[in-house]
Structure 1
Amino acid sequence: MRSRAGWKVDLPSGLCKEAMTVSNASLCFRNKTILAPMVRVGTLPMRLLALDYGADLVYCEELIDIKMLQCRRIVNAALGTVDFVTPNERVVFRTCKREKDSVVFQMGTADAERALAVAKLVENDVAGIDVNMGCPKEYSTKAGMGAALLSDPDKIESILTTLVKGICKPVTCKIRILPSKEETINLVKKIEKTGVAAIAVHGRKKEERPQHPVHCDVIKAICEAVSIPVIANGGSHDFIKAYSDIGTFRQATAASSVMVARAAMWNPSIFRKEGPLPLKDVMQEYIKYAVRYDNHYTNTKYCLCQMLREQLENVQGKKLHAAQSMQEICNVFEMSSFYKEISMLLEVKTPLLEVKDQSEEDPLEDADVIKMAVRFDKREYPPQITPKMCLLEWCRKEKHPQPVYETVERPMDRLFRSVVTVAEQKYRSTLWDKSKKLAEQAAAIACLRSLGLPEGKRSEGVNHLVNKRKRQDQELLNNGEQGNGLVIEETYKKPHVTLGASAADIS
């Protein structure tokens, strides 16, 4: 879905853990002391709402290192934000000036070099960097991230030491407890030696879930074993129902601070010492932030459903469940006029955005390569018609050798770029793509546009390849045969190469 700011907005990877907070205690990040409560929230609207209600420190949702390394940093003048945007124009992380000194960027990683690259990318826009070593979800552990790191202390040490030495902002990590208390204490002592500013401990094992009791005794033992601040996490189910319960959980664990997830998600005003606000007021304030900062409607809808909980079966809950846009969500909560007012304001502010070349040119590249900032979008082409097919057809017609594609992969972010050789001239896009196929199509587009040739787009009108396809398909049907007809993309492809690979790796 394209946002008003001109980009598509990604849904956060951790919707089920949209908010967390911490209790009264000072948390020392090197020479900086940040007073609790601290809140861990997913997207910008929820983080700002938490700050409104008394949180001093907020965490973003866990963002994967490889995904972040595909991003470029964009100052979004229309929204007053800093956006980190992928090549396909999706906003992965959005922040703003107000939370710059309060937001901790949490990443999922299994590699020290990638972690440092991400930290350097965002460190000027955040208050600190956190590595999530407690996520038990399969998507994380299969990639060696999250709770999978708990069984590899050497890798944990490598990642955290690299971050602490490589950036000027505080570094923290979040873990789960190990099968035994002794194993857990040994791990946190090793973590402490890396120089991290604090450690958050979810008081459950990686196989345990919220319905299982939190192990306060293990968190307490950790606090006694290390000198750095310990943030206790996991008390929403057993302890935290109101602001005063945050202190109760802190006392039970002897922790410096308390991190809360679900209780904060259900009602972010739990951070108010004066007591929680009516849920209706909280939801309206959340919607205001969601509209102002162009939050994706599905994320907004999810958070509101979490707030309603048992009220989802009433009339308002059913209307919310049926909503399919931010405007419809505003209608449910009688905020239609607010939506229209902000929408008109953002439309006026939104500048025309240009696709920028995010590549860093290699000075060793061939100087004779014709380059163009282009990308393939299959929605702009008829079914089964691609630029590669158009280029191959033109080469046959002109009796040129068939196109030759050479594709490389950038190891750091696993993006691809391809060079196509046609009539002894090389062409490529300056943009990197998320797959080898897309990179080859982009190279074909660069070639076709450079030569002033049609590339098969719907907007170009009647395409002879479409008619050719129909004729060949009909002939196959008449003959009782099956096949994919038209032009088979039989272009010659040289071996796929990963940048930085040795000759032995390539062979």
Structure 2
Amino acid sequence: MRVKPTPLPKSAPAAATILRSILRLPMSPPPSDLDDLLCSPARQCSGESESEPEPEAHVPIQLNGCGLSRADRAWAYWTALGRPSLVVAPMVDNSELPFRMLCRKYGARAAYTPMLHSRIFTENEKYRSQEFTTCKEDRPLFVQFCANDPDILLEAAKRVEPFCDYVDINLGCPQRIARRGNYGAFLMDNLPLVKSLVQKLANNLHVPVSCKIRVFPKLEDTLSYARMLEGAGCSLLAVHGRTRDEKDGKKFRANWAAIKAVKNTVSIPVLANGNIRHMDDVMDCLAETGCEGVLSAESLLENPALFTSYRTAEWVVRDEEGSSRDGKLDQAELLVEYLKFCEMYPVPWRMIRSHVHKLLGDWFRVHPEIREELNAQSRLTFDFLYEMVDRLRSKGLRIPLYRKDESVQCMRASSTG
């Protein structure tokens, strides 16, 4: 767990020393897999003094013992955070700190970390140091864990609670690895265990517990599930409007009606997840579900500026000529900004490689030879990636992001009014 706490003292020690002072563990040697190496060698050195002071951590908002009901405390806490309605969803290897910071720059008001495996997080210092990083600007922040053991989950959560605003339990991952590991959406088959996980955190943490779920095929089962989670101590519920078997987001539309039903059933804040591809979807989802906010995942990977009303050409309304204009921003520019954040907040190269492919996928389809050169690199460097962007631009390639032309929309509205 590599953390830049909030706030840092002026004489803050190097990140590796900060980490050791928090965890009281020795530094692990760098990984042998080149793509698992951090993108900054400075973060891989060891040998700093063992006597550095422990950093000052964030002091969470305290609402216990103030005479409010549990639901009222959940709402008071959410309000104190500013009711962030535009949220970066948790994505394994893809919602890491540099990407969260890029999305925050372009309108995101809160973000989840990637899903962290609670058992590995408690046992493996290298895993902690690479998979969980944050900084003082990275707020509000949800730290998400998958788990099937309440005690192990609590041990993991205790390590991160000084540096986040919610500890989130992943109850929605539908992938095969979650089935094998007995976590995520496959805990829907063991509701007593789910209840014990939520209760364990709710009764022992200073920050609230949130849960991210999928819906059951039967609506009444989903509503019963949501009520059980609230009763166990969940303070915020994020609902993905697809079932465990509906893994393909392009094939299965998220069920906003089911999310609305959950919202109307529980007394705590609810976030909606699914079908958020551009800002029109955000507005439609909030209106249809009545939720406090939305999560976006895959769409943000291609367009981290989604929450500031930029959209890719795929979502430009083609049958309304002139309704959209070049937003003077493109994915290559966003990639360069992302790389600069990576230089500030180092992460494993495998994460960077993934974002390069997501952001430049359309560009690589035009110039596949440059994609092949990227894939041939056994070890990436920032110089190579910046040069790659320059080469794409030198070929005259630009695929802009678009924004709605509000003047056209207003003229159309007045002409039909």
Give the TM-score, by structure 2 length: 0.67
**How far 1:305 moved relative to its partner?**
1.0
2:261 to 196, 221, 229: 221
- How far the C-alpha of 1:27 sits from its partner, in A, is 7.1
2:324 counterpart residue number:
none
Residue 80 of structure 2, aligned match among 17, 32, 48: 32
- Asked whether the equivalents of residues 96 and 114 of structure 2 are also in contact (C-alpha less than 8 Å), the reply is yes
Shift of 1:90: 5.9
User: Contact 1:264/1:270 (CA < 8 Å) preserved in 2?
Assistant: yes
Post-superposition CA distance 1:436-487 (Å, at most 9, x none): xxxxxxxxxxxxxxxxxxxxxxxxxxxxxxxxxxxxxxxxxxxxxxxxxxxx
CA–CA separation in structure 2 for the residues paired with 1:253 and 1:31: 19
Q: Per-residue deviation at 1:318? A: 4.0
Shift of 1:118: 0.7
Question: Do residues 260 (structure 1) and 316 (structure 2) align?
Answer: no
Distance 1:59 1:323 in 2: 30
1:138 aligns with 2:176: yes
Aligned to 1:123: 161
- Please list the CA deviations of residues 359-393 of structure 1 after superposition, one character each: whole Å capped at 9, or x if unmatched: xxxxxxxxxxxxxxxxxxxxxxxxxxxxxxxxxxx
Tell me by how many angstroms 1:223 deviates: 1.0
Q: Provide the residue aligned with 2:135 in structure 1.
A: 96
Given the alignment of the two structures, is residue 332 of structure 1 paired with residue 381 of structure 2, yes or no? no
Structure-to-structure mapping, 1:315-326, within 5 angstroms: 315=367, 316-324=370-378, 325-326=380-381
Indicate whether 1:55 and 2:108 are aligned.
Answer: yes
Of stretches 130-139 and 63-72 in structure 1, the one that deviates more from structure 2 is 63-72
Asked if 2 retains the 8 angstrom alpha-carbon contact of 1:60 and 1:103, the reply is yes
**1:247 maps to 2:247:** no
Q: Distance in 2 between matches of 1:274 and 1:165?
A: 42
Counterparts of 1:27 and 1:261 in 2: how far apart (Å)?
Answer: 25
Gaps of 5+ in 1: 9-25, 73-84, 336-507
Matching residue of 2:348: 296
Distance in 1, matches of 2:347 and 2:130, equals 10
Matches within 5 A, 1:464-479: none
Q: Residues 264 and 30 (structure 1 numbering): CA distance in 2 closer, same or farther, change over 3 Å?
A: closer
Instruction: State how far apart, in whole Å, the 1-side matches of 2:215 and 2:283 are.
Output: 22
Larger Rg: 1
Alignment-derived partner of residue 121 in structure 2: 68
Q: Post-superposition shift, 1:95?
A: 1.6
Deviant stretches of 4+, over 4 Å: 273-276
Identity %, equivalent residues: 25
CA distance in 1, matches of 2:374, 2:148: 38
> Relative to structure 1, is the Cα distance of residues 28 and 207 closer, same or farther in structure 2, using a 3 angstrom cutoff?
farther
Q: TM-score, normalised by structure 1?
A: 0.55
1:119 and 1:147 mapped to 2: Cα distance?
Answer: 20
Aligned match for 2:357, one of 305, 311, 317: 305
Contact 1:301 1:329 in 2 (8 A): no
Query: Aligned partners of 1:123 and 1:217: how far apart in 2?
Result: 33
Deviations 1:329-377 (A, max 9, x none): 2321239xxxxxxxxxxxxxxxxxxxxxxxxxxxxxxxxxxxxxxxxxx
Aligned residue for 1:45? 98
Deviation at 1:171, TM superposition (A): 1.1
**Could you tell me how far 1:222 is from its partner in structure 2?**
0.9
Alpha-carbon contact 2:43-2:346 (below 8 Å) kept: no
Equivalence for 1:82: none
Matches within 5 A, 1:340-489: none
Distance 2:105 2:191 in 1: 38
Alignment match, 1:234: 274
1:378-411 deviation per Cα after TM superposition (whole angstroms, max 9, x unaligned): xxxxxxxxxxxxxxxxxxxxxxxxxxxxxxxxxx
Alpha-carbon distance between aligned partners in 1 of 2:390 and 2:140, rounded to the nearest angstrom: 32
* Structure 1 residues 246 and 320, CA gap change in structure 2 (3 angstroms): farther
The letter of the residue matching 2:246 is E
Change in CA separation of 1:199 and 1:212 when aligned onto 2, cut-off 3 Å: same
Tell me the equivalent position of 1:212.
252
Q: Specify the code of the residue in structure 2 equivalent to 1:302.
A: S
Q: In the alignment, which residue of structure 2 is the partner of 1:421?
A: none
Aligned to 2:337: 285
Segments of structure 2 that go 5 or more residues without pairing to the other structure are 1-33, 46-73, 312-326, 392-417
2:232 is paired with a residue whose SS is: coil
The 2-side partners of 1:60 and 1:40 are apart by 8
TM-aligned CA distance change 1:229 to 1:154, over 3 Å:
same
Give SS of 2:111's match.
strand
Secondary structure of residue in 2 paired with 1:333 = helix
Q: Does 1:201 align with 2:239?
A: yes
> Is the 8 Å Cα contact of residues 123 and 129 (structure 1) preserved in structure 2?
yes
User: Post-superposition shift, 1:281?
Assistant: 1.6
Q: Which residue identity lines up with residue 165 of structure 1 in the other structure?
A: N
Distance of 1:130 and 1:154 partners within structure 2: 18
What is aligned with 2:29?
A: none
Report which of the two has the higher share of strand: 1
Residue type of the alignment partner of 1:244? D
AA matched with 1:46: F
| Corresponding residue SS for 1:179 | coil
SS at match of 1:200: strand
